[in-house]
Amino acid sequence: MHQDTINALISPEGSLEILSNQEVNRLKDRSQGGLYRLFRQCALAVLNTGAETDDCKDLMEAHADFDVRLVPQPRGLKLELVNAPATAFVDGRMMRAIREHLFSVLRDIVYSNSIPTAIAGFQKDNPDDITNLVFHILRNSRVLQAGRQPDMVVCWGGHSISREEYDYSKNVGHELGLRSLNICTGCGPGAMKGPMKGATIGHAKQRVHNGRYIGITEPGIIGAEAPNPIVNELIIMPDIEKRLEAFVRAGHGIIVFPGGVGTAEEILYLLGILLHPDNADLPFPVVFTGRKENAGYFQMIDDFIRNALGDEATKKYEIIIDDPAQVARTMGQGIADVQTFRRSKQDAYYFNWVLTIDPIFQMPFEPNHDNMRALELHRNQPPHLIAANLRKAFSGIVAGNVKAEGIRQVQAKGPFEISGDPALLKPLDALLTAFVEQNRMKLPGTSAYRPSYRIIEPPAARA
């Protein structure tokens, strides 16, 4: 379908303005090792803010003639956009929020690809180095602010939700805003946008003039979940694992709304970390919440967690149904406990250094047919490792659903195959089936959902 486009020369807005010759050359490099393809993909996603799509591959193909070029200037850097989506402009001028996001993309792609070579002895598979990289990216983006009291609530939930679920997430955000709490989400639509929108009204009523609406994403997902217009601090992490670590290091508590496989991945990541023995006494408020009509959804999630990870895992969160004010009060009290704990440990308010993250949660998982088939999905391992491997399974399904490379692999070789202990996989299959039936896999009206996975019996069972 033809879409109107615009050619434009864009000046920086609130972010990176100066690049070295080496950085410019890497951004111009269109080879496999260069950064041009990555920057173009993320830039195009930002320019499509508000678009009704969750298919990164379709987005790239629909704008195959889009180009972005760096134009050095005596006073700094500009971007030349060729065949940019006209929806990013008003009367020929790019919207300010989108311009900010565009240069945030440039800032983070340059920095995250430069910092490993700038840190002496940096090793990409060293857990401490990974955490330090997450810290440096967040600090460079000015997300980490000394002198602030803990106030950052991370909100997770689906991009494909009903209008009623969206309104509920907005009501929760409003209650959080009334208590001067700030919001961090995955930056996209649905349950990622609702809490931010509600918080803007709550902040306005309390005359909070510096409300923070932080969106944390990564290159593989940004095309499927473009930043919503309310995000005023956008961060692009290098991959999903560092994105998830950024959430739990920078956030002071987490609220989970109904969602699909991406939300399930986030839940398993969080519980896997909190179940680590080193984190047994660490306060970290977690609330699952939704409308009264979502009570069955959260019962299903709770049953799945109990079966997979045991009763101890269910003690790490509280389920609150149809009570936005109680959600906000519970989160406020939980964050107060976090502040007391951090003060006692002399840990920073702005970055959770004390939290232990097992390296299995940090190492990037590449979703492909071999890796998905080889997942260790059995009970003969500690609960936090079961969570880690289940998280990878969900991550692969997300990739097959919405990420360009994952979609291509599924189209070429068929659905990813998932094998393991039937005691884990039968509830997993039931959960995934429910997500499909509830339209939590794809945005309604975009395209029919074609499963990117299939559950198979392990070889021993088939024998």
Domains of the chain: 5-106 (3.30.1850.10), 142-463 (3.40.50.450)
pLDDT at 139: 94
Largest distance between two CA atoms of the chain: 71
Give residue 76's pLDDT band: very low, low, confident or very high (50, 70, 90): low
- Considering the chain, what is the average pLDDT of its residues? 89
pLDDT in tens, 202-246: 999 999 999 999 999 998 888 777 888 899 999 999 999 999 999
- Region 133-144: mean pLDDT is 94
**The pLDDT of residue 2:** 45
112-134: pLDDT as tens digits = 888 776 677 788 889 999 999 99
Q: Which residues pair with 8 in a beta bridge?
A: 81
Name the band, by pLDDT with cuts 50, 70 and 90, for residue 452: confident
DSSP designation for 358:
-
Given this model, what pLDDT does residue 51 score? 60
CA 39, 188, 145, 117 torsion-angle sign: negative
Give the separation between CA 375 and CA 418, rounded to whole angstroms.
Answer: 8
Residue pair 443/54 in contact by the 8 Å Cβ criterion: yes
Which pLDDT does position 463 carry in this prediction?
44
284-324 pLDDT, tens digit per residue, is 999 999 999 999 999 999 999 999 999 999 999 999 999 99
**Distance separating alpha carbons of residues 28 and 12, to the nearest angstrom:** 18
List own/partner pairs for 301-308 with CB under 8 A and 24 or more apart: 301/264, 301/267, 301/431, 303/427, 304/427, 304/428, 304/431, 305/267, 305/271, 307/423, 307/424, 307/427, 308/386, 308/387, 308/390, 308/424, 308/427, 308/428
The span from the first CA to the last CA of the chain, in angstroms, equals 50
CA angle, 215 then 217 then 36, to 5°: 125
pLDDT of 335 reads 98
Q: What is the pLDDT of residue 443?
A: 60
pTM, entire model: 0.91
Residue 249: pLDDT above 60? yes
Nearest to 305 by CA among 390, 363, 369, 211: 390
The amino acid that residue 366 corresponds to is E
Please give the structure tokens belonging to residue 275.
């179940």
pLDDT of residue 446 exceeding 80: no
State the Cα–Cα distance between residues 267 and 274, nearest whole angstrom.
Answer: 11
Share of the chain above pLDDT 70, in %: 92
Average pLDDT over residues 358-384: 93
pLDDT at 14: 55
Angstrom distances, CA of residue 111 to CA of 5, 121, 139, 397: 30, 17, 11, 29
pLDDT bin (cut points 50, 70, 90) of residue 1 is: very low
Phi/psi of residue 128, nearest 5 degrees: -65, -40
Residue 343's pLDDT band (cuts 50, 70, 90): very high
Are 192 and 228 in contact by the 8 Å Cβ rule? The answer is yes
Give the up-direction half-sphere exposure of residue 58: CA atoms within 13 A in the CB hemisphere: 13
Write out pLDDT tens, residues 32-69: 777 888 888 888 888 887 665 555 566 667 778 899 98
DSSP 35-54: SHHHHHHHHHHHHTTT-S--
Residue 150's identity, in one-letter code, is: P
User: With 50 as the cut, is the pLDDT of residue 388 above it?
Assistant: yes
pLDDT at 17: 59
Residue 442: phi, psi to the nearest 5? -140, 155
Indicate whether 77 pLDDT > 90: no
Over 50: is that where the pLDDT of 368 sits?
yes
58 vs 48: CA distance, rounded Å: 12
Has residue 71 got a pLDDT over 60?
yes
